[in-house]
Amino acid sequence: MSDSSSNAIPQYLPLRNDLAGEEPYGAPQLDVPVCLNVNENPYEPAPEVVEAIARRVREIATGLNRYPDREHIELRKAFAAYLEREAGVHFEVEQLWGANGSNEIMLQLFQAFGGPGRSALSCDPSYSMYPEYARDTFTQWHTIPRDDDFTVNVERTAQAIREVKPSMVVLTSPNNPTGTPLPLEDIEALLEVCNEVDVEGALTGVHPVMIVDEAYAEFRDPGTPSALSLIERHPNLAVSRTMSKAFAFAGARVGYLAASKGIIDAVRIVRLPYHLSALTQAAALAAFEHTDEQLSQVDHLRDLREHSARWLAKQTYKGKPLQVAPSQSNFILFGGHFDKRERIFDELLKRGVLIRVVGPQGWLRVCVGTDAEMEQFHKALTEVLRIVEAE
């Protein structure tokens, strides 16, 4: 669903043939009282964080006539300090890389390791932008269905890796839109398969790169390990993170990557010059100065997720309880048997509640908002299910 009013490209423009009929990606951006569709942290930065950002920006503003540090060394040091604290894993600066959101990180990885004659493999359902990264880089896109509980079928995925011989295997933990975590033992099992497989069209001995997207990692249950802990033993593993979600920094657009130096150097080849502005770097450094404040609501959002999941599981539609996918993220996929999910979405929107039509047919996704927002969502959904069920 696009937020553009018209996506028709004039026929006199030489648009790439493979882009004919395509629409820009985008969740709806609507002015509604309760916005629960794009998985943001609903709590705004604390005043001391805002002041730190303003101070940092003031300090560098007189130098905006000069290009920023294209290697963003200070910010990469901040990534390292944060990951050592959050995941207990130490990285050198050369093993880290930042970009404008994890979207740009993923695109850079596709630019570096995808391309004509290359393939990428993932498990469906997953993030809807992945096939667009593949399309934009002329990378063939393959998917393997997840099991009914949305977990990755390791045996089936391993067989697909052997058959497809992709240059990239893209996995997500927790997964979007289902919230499903990916156990470390499953990641390691698939990494071992990657180490045995040659990439189609590449030299003998060139093996697939595995990318684990951990955009929502901070919301996972306490004690759940990160794929970051596997990088030292697996140089073909890259882990993507973002400040957009738990870190309450979606508007700043800061994503980052942890990997072997070889993978980081490959990404540096395709990155645009000076891709991270001085303003972005300054704002991110200020946010890392106040990590505790930025993450202060994560535990509460996790509690709200569990409370809302239990509430949803008690609701019914056409005589059947709603299915609720177990989530370790800040959103919940629910429904399972909605035969009119667009109608439910529209009726919720009429009541000022915006969620997301995404994922397999029959399901809807709601982001965890504030206490008041979740209360409004529960009230509106109760009304809407009664109305739609009676039709």
Radius of gyration of the chain (CA): 21
Sign of CA dihedral 292, 264, 254, 68: positive
Q: How many CA atoms lie within 13 A of 6 on its CB side?
A: 3
Query: 63: which 2 tokens?
Result: 């130098």
Q: Is the predicted pLDDT of residue 2 greater than 50, yes or no?
A: no
pTM of the complete model: 0.94
Using one digit for the tens of pLDDT, what is the confidence trace for 37-89?
A: 999 999 999 999 999 999 999 999 999 999 999 999 999 999 999 999 999 99
Q: How many CA atoms lie within 13 A of 7 on its CB side?
A: 12
Q: Please give the CATH architecture assigned to the domain spanning 47-294.
A: 3-Layer(aba) Sandwich (3.40)
Q: Is the predicted pLDDT of residue 25 greater than 90, yes or no?
A: no
Give yes or no for a contact between 130 and 170, defined as CB atoms under 8 angstroms apart: yes
Residue whose C-alpha is closest to residue 77's, from 98, 59, 56: 98
What was the pLDDT predicted at 281? 98
d(CA 168, CA 247): 28
Q: Please give the CATH architecture assigned to the domain spanning 17-44+296-390.
A: Alpha-Beta Complex (3.90)
What was the pLDDT predicted at 391? 82
Give yes or no for a contact between 380 and 387, defined as CB atoms under 8 angstroms apart: no
Mean pLDDT across the chain: 95
Using one digit for the tens of pLDDT, what is the confidence trace for 172-208?
A: 999 999 999 999 999 999 999 999 999 998 989 999 9
Provide the angle, in degrees to the nearest 10, between the axes of the packed helices 371-390 and 298-313. Answer: 20
Torsion of CA 382, 387, 389, 391, to 10 degrees: -170
Q: Where along the chain do its domains lie?
A: 17-44+296-390, 47-294
The DSSP symbol for 9 reads P
Neighbours of 98 (CB within 10 A): 25
Residue 217's φ and ψ, nearest 5 degrees, are -60, -35
What was the pLDDT predicted at 7? 63
Query: 147: which 2 tokens?
Result: 């099991």
Q: Return all residues near 378 (Cβ < 8 A) that are at least 6 apart.
A: 308, 311
The residue with greater pLDDT, 241 or 1, is 241
What letters, b where the CB count within 10 A reaches 16 and e where it falls short, cover 69-97? eeebeebbebbbebbeebbebebebebbb
Give the residues across from 241 on adjacent strands.
256
Give yes or no for a contact between 35 and 354, defined as CB atoms under 8 angstroms apart: yes
